[in-house]
Structure 1
């Protein structure tokens, strides 16, 4: 790193667990770019000052993670139509002093899901746990891909209702409904769904349990957890023991990151290099 290095990074709290720096910095090295990716821990009360500071410092862009994906939107100069429809931003490009928000989470999730498991999305009903920024991207992507019905369950029922209404408004062909957060409704939804996606942070911290009672999970289910560290959350461990197909969030991290890389640099991301960095493999000599 020197005085000519172009900076990008990630804002959120916490960001100490983020593996985005190793992925992006490996990609910059592979393409011979004098760029660096830095994590910036930002508390909610400091978000406005942090965004203004990044702009003032000449940072080229940044990723946005929990808890800022929606709160950052009023601070931006422009937002892509896809991010507007989703109602959340995970990538910001700073160009000519203007901050433009994008969302690559949905694209990243879909690519990861279809890369790992072969199945017909247009015939799959989905239960989504959580209604935050990541959930909004996942729900929008699934509806856009033709999933006929979604059930969205969140501890705050109002957020689930609002998200379901947003999905119905943008995707009239998708039967999106909110679901109460209780074991009885969850059990019925497990029996109804083929795909289950956890977008909450339950499972991220040591001592967390599963956000879902896994009674009813079968080999016919695909269970995805957007958490990637730890790679096997309590939810995924329990579902794998019941012979369900499982997927952690590492593939989504890879593919959303590749899309963000292209937005910042204008170059195709070296996806294989980024994948090896996430897998902890050494660089080829």
Structure 2
């Protein structure tokens, strides 16, 4: 007996044991993926729009992605989301890419039509909508300090650049990764003839309070600090003035440490729950052609996370 209760996931090899007659199939692929809050959010949207569909958590190790995708197509899945570390590999499997998937070098949303895969990236546009909802700001007007240089940080830094952000500071525990991302963006700026301020900053310099980027927005995109301050205590010295704070990760039951710390200091701050909401709403629209019932999705997401909207 396969348990598909809340918080559980199914191995892609076991999907053939399930039967959902008359229902369209969707899911989220990842490794691990049992923590994902996307299923209650998407299934609430399906119900609200009167669609007979289900959305599953599907465990797919990166090495098995191509084989798993073949099985999903064979079983009639109409689309899916994917989480890290699958987003870049998924790009290579899609026959068609939307412009953001190409520019950001990752795919987080797939739509299947006649056995062919179309790849989309809704993370960037979803993040932009989350910022507009939380802070009422436009990306092009912001100087952004990006903490992290992994997959999510790379995608959002690239998105900010292409949306017209001309000031970016980038830091990462591994200096080479911060330097590589900064150089990529600097090269794009030169090719476009765009005046841009893009600077890598050493993590150690921030820890020693030797650097203080004059940013408008602090974007945290690492796995550090989810349960507590962890290795992020040095960011406290930056939480002043009118700095906006966005933490890509999100907490269950309450916001992340960074968001709470910023709010204690009177700053506007939000965490990745809003990104999850807005990227998911865009994915729903891509799959169904329906206007996403945003408030229904929001309430389902909040309930699943044990949260109240700030």
TM-score (structure 2 length as normaliser)? 0.82
Other-structure match for 2:269? 246
Measure the CA separation in 2 of the matches of 1:107 and 1:82.
Answer: 9
- Alpha-carbon contact 2:149-2:177 (below 8 Å) kept: yes
The alignment status of 1:220 with 2:238, answered yes or no, reads no
Supply the distance in 2 between the matched residues of 1:151 and 1:185 (Cα, whole angstroms). Answer: 15
Distance 1:60 1:247, change over 3 A: same
Name the CA distance, whole Å, in 2 between partners of 1:73 and 1:165.
23
Q: Given the alignment of the two structures, is residue 156 of structure 1 paired with residue 174 of structure 2, yes or no?
A: yes
The match for 2:307 is none
Checking the alignment, whether the CA contact within 8 Å between 1:187 and 1:216 is kept in structure 2 is no
Change (3 A) 1:277 1:174: farther
Label 1:159 to 1:79 Cα distance change in 2 as closer, same or farther (>3 A).
farther
Question: Larger Rg: 1 or 2?
Answer: 2
- Give the Cα–Cα distance (whole angstroms) in 1 for the partners of residues 164 and 62 of structure 2: 35
Q: In structure 2, what is the Cα distance between the partners aligned to 1:279 and 1:14? A: 21
Which position in structure 2 is the counterpart of 1:257? 280
The answer to whether the aligner puts 1:209 opposite 2:227 as a matched pair is no
In structure 2, C-alpha distance between the alignment counterparts of 1:16 and 1:186, rounded to whole Å: 38
Pairs within 5 Å for 1:116-265: 116-119=134-137, 121-170=139-188, 172-184=194-206, 187=209, 190-204=212-226, 206=227, 209-211=230-232, 213=234, 214-230=236-252, 231-265=254-288
Q: Distance in 2 between matches of 1:87 and 1:186?
A: 34
Deviation at 1:31, TM superposition (A): 0.7
Change in Cα spacing, 1:119 to 1:73, as seen in structure 2 (3 Å) is: closer
Q: CA deviation at 1:215?
A: 1.6
Which string of whole-angstrom CA distances, capped at 9 and with x for unpartnered residues, describes residues 213-253 of structure 1? 12231141111111123342222222222222211111111
**Aligned CA distance change for structure 1 residues 260 and 186 (closer, same or farther; 3 Å):** farther
The answer to which of 182-191 and 121-130 deviates more is 182-191
Gaps of 5+ in 2: 1-18, 305-310
**CA–CA separation in structure 2 for the residues paired with 1:186 and 1:71:** 37
* Counterpart contact for 2:24–2:52, Cα < 8 Å: yes
Taking only aligned residues, the RMSD between alpha carbons, in angstroms, comes to: 2.4
Scaled by the length of structure 1, what TM-score is found? 0.88
Any unmatched runs of 5+ in structure 1? none
Task: Report if aligned partners of 1:196, 1:222 keep a CA contact under 8 Å in 2.
Answer: yes
**Map of 1:99 onto structure 2:** 117
Report SS of the residue matched to 1:269: coil
Which segment drifts farther, 8-17 or 98-107?
8-17
Farther off after superposition, 114-123 or 21-30: 114-123
